[in-house]
């Protein structure tokens, strides 16, 4: 890989992790602060409303992913006319979608308290909260075009800069508002306004980087046809993702209570943080794959696939082990000991299947990048439907643990039995080669970390932030030394026997230098 590409990867991934780390710290601070200031019922309503409006992502119809792919492809070949057609057509489409979403918001705000078990004292607040959050999401559709452009150009560090500024300002304003006696609606207003301002900044930067012209004359059927063709399977995946991970609060709110959502959200949020760490790395694989496909570099695609999943596993495996072993202490330090009994089992149920999915994060990204994600979309959609049915059935008998199991079981089946075989077949890589090259080293490096984690936990249980930080620092120092050893001995990124020997006419790469 060219030195310039490596520098860009370092800037993108490094800035993504910095942004994520800051967001995690802000979330770890703000979540218990908001929870204890507003109470379980109000915090549960907060989670419920953002879960409901999260379904507005369905209105995206897969357009953003098509922007990322085709901006990467057209910019690689300097096709400026196609770029202008794509961006203007996407912007027009998103404006129409935002208008529809706004109309849906007005309707949804009138029925939220009659559909879900919202306490009577919060009925008016629920109406206004849905109206506020839904309107902001609707405005975010057309403004989000510019974020997709920057992703396609692999300028993730620009997006991360605006995100860091937005997160810091959001945290500051929320603390000030709560200390001055303002409530849930003020916190929501701050939360939804700052991302819109960040999108405006992204738009100004994108227009300076690319020779774009925003005008109706650039609208064309060819661009619209490309967007629709690519976005169809993507839209299926968006629906499936909502069914997989965004139905829990609604199911629990319907069959249990808004307060029960809080206990589920604590455990699931820790799993989400793990996913965000990996996504900050994996997001670069879509434009990288699109660019490699555009210039006909099939070897680079396999390189991204194998090395990308290894990089994800090197992050996911130690994080998973740390949360399993130290999870009770994490919950106690974060929100309080009274949440451990219910939230920790939720964490355990969700964590293992999520780890199997996150350790293979480059699979889906590569398929998106080369527009081979239709079969993946069908499989994930079937999983999402199964998820919803199981969650509804199990939540009635087992409460929030049943809902967690309804998510975990189908997810584990998809990520173990479908995803690796399907991706390997499309890319011409043996499944065993993929498993060995991507996951053997991360597993080996995780064994000493698990031993140290168990020894530290058995010696003393952390009850304060300082104690927990000391445990984590000690254990991860051991893992850091292992990574340094693997890097110095050239084991960290070496990938052997990359190509499938059974495919006629394809050479075998003995050693492939990766990312």
The per-residue pLDDT for 5 is 57
The per-residue pLDDT for 513 is 36
**Tokens at residue 59, please?**
């209105």
Whether 230 contacts 90, CB under 8 Å: no
Alpha carbon distance 117, 157 (integer Å): 42
The per-residue pLDDT for 412 is 92
CB atoms closer than 10 angstroms to residue 506? 13
Question: What is the enclosing helix (H) or strand (E) of 246?
Answer: none
3-state secondary structure of 494: strand
DSSP tag of 335: T
**Tokens at residue 195, please?**
């991302």
What backbone torsions phi and psi does residue 275 show, to the nearest 5 degrees? -65, -35
Mean pLDDT of successive 10-residue stretches along the chain, which has 515 residues? 55 71 74 70 68 65 76 75 82 85 77 63 71 80 83 80 84 82 77 83 84 79 77 75 76 78 84 80 76 71 84 90 90 86 90 91 83 84 90 88 90 91 88 87 90 88 85 86 78 54 36 33
Q: Where are the alpha helices (DSSP H) in 210-257?
A: 221-245, 248-255
Which residue, 363, 51, 41, is CA-closest to 184? 41
Spans of all domains in the chain: 1-235, 247-501
pTM flag (> 0.95): no
| Integer Rg of the chain from CA | 23
For strand 512-513 and strand 494-495, is the pairing parallel, antiparallel, or unpaired?
A: antiparallel
**Tokens at residue 142, please?**
């057309």
**Tokens at residue 402, please?**
């049943």
**Geometric angle at alpha carbon 309, from 306 and 310, rounded to 5°:** 85
Which residue, 81, 101, 96, is CA-closest to 215? 81
Whether 308 contacts 285, CB under 8 Å: yes
Alpha carbon distance 484, 328 (integer Å): 30
First to last CA, the chain: 7
- The contacts of residue 449 (CB under 8 Å, 6+ apart) are 318, 321, 322, 475, 476, 478, 479, 482
Alpha carbon distance 409, 353 (integer Å): 8
The per-residue pLDDT for 409 is 92
Q: How many CA atoms lie within 13 A of 508 on its CB side?
A: 10
The per-residue pLDDT for 349 is 92
Which residue, 509, 343, 499, 371, is CA-closest to 424? 499
Alpha carbon distance 80, 42 (integer Å): 50
Residue with tokens 């935002």: 98
Strand partners, 99: none
Alpha carbon distance 106, 175 (integer Å): 29
């Amino acid at each position: 890989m060219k030195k310039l590409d490596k520098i860009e990867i370092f800037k993108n991934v490094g800035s993504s992790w910095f942004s994520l780390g800051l967001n995690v710290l802000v979330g770890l601070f703000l979540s218990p602060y908001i929870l204890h200031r507003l109470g379980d019922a109000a915090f549960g309503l907060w989670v419920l409303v953002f879960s409901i409006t999260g379904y507005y992502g369905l209105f995206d119809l897969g357009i953003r992913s098509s922007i990322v792919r085709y901006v990467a492809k057209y910019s690689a070949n300097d096709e400026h006319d196609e770029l202008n057609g794509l961006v203007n057509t996407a912007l027009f489409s998103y404006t129409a979608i935002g208008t529809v979403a706004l109309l849906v918001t007005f309707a949804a705000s009138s029925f939220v308290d009659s559909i879900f078990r919202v306490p009577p004292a919060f009925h008016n607040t629920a109406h206004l909260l849905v109206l506020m959050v839904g309107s902001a999401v609707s405005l975010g559709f057309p403004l989000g075009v510019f974020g997709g452009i920057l992703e396609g150009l692999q300028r993730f560090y620009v997006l991360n800069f605006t995100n860091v500024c937005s997160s810091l300002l959001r945290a500051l304003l929320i603390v000030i508002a709560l200390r001055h006696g303002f409530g849930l609606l003020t916190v929501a207003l701050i939360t939804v306004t700052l991302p819109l301002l960040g999108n405006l900044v992204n738009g100004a930067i994108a227009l300076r980087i690319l020779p774009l012209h925003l005008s109706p004359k650039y609208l064309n059927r060819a661009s619209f046809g490309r967007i629709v063709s690519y976005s169809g399977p993507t839209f299926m995946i968006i629906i499936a993702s909502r069914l997989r991970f965004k139905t829990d609060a609604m199911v629990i709110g319907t069959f249990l209570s808004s307060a029960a959502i809080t206990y589920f959200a604590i455990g699931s949020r820790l799993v989400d943080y793990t996913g965000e760490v990996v996504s900050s790395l994996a997001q670069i694989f879509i434009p990288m794959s699109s660019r490699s496909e555009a210039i006909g570099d099939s070897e680079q695609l396999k390189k991204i696939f194998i090395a990308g999943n290894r990089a994800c596993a090197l992050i996911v495996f130690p994080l998973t082990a740390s949360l399993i072993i130290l999870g009770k202490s994490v919950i106690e330090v974060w929100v309080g000991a009274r949440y451990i009994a219910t939230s920790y089992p939720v964490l355990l149920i969700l964590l293992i299947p999520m780890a199997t999915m996150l350790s293979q994060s480059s699979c889906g990204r590569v398929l998106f990048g080369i527009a081979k994600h239709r079969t993946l979309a069908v499989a994930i959609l079937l999983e999402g439907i199964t998820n919803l049915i199981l969650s509804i059935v199990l939540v009635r008998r087992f409460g929030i643990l049943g809902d967690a199991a309804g998510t975990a079981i189908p997810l584990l089946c998809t990520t173990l039995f479908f995803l690796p075989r399907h991706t390997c077949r499309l890319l011409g890589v043996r499944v065993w080669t993929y498993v060995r090259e991507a996951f053997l080293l991360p597993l080996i490096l995780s064994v000493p970390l698990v031993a140290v984690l168990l020894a530290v936990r058995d010696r003393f249980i952390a009850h304060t932030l300082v104690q927990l930080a000391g445990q984590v620092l000690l254990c991860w120092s051991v893992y850091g030394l292992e990574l340094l050893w693997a890097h110095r001995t050239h084991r960290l990124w070496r990938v052997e026997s990359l190509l499938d020997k059974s495919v006629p006419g394809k050479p075998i790469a003995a050693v492939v230098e990766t990312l």
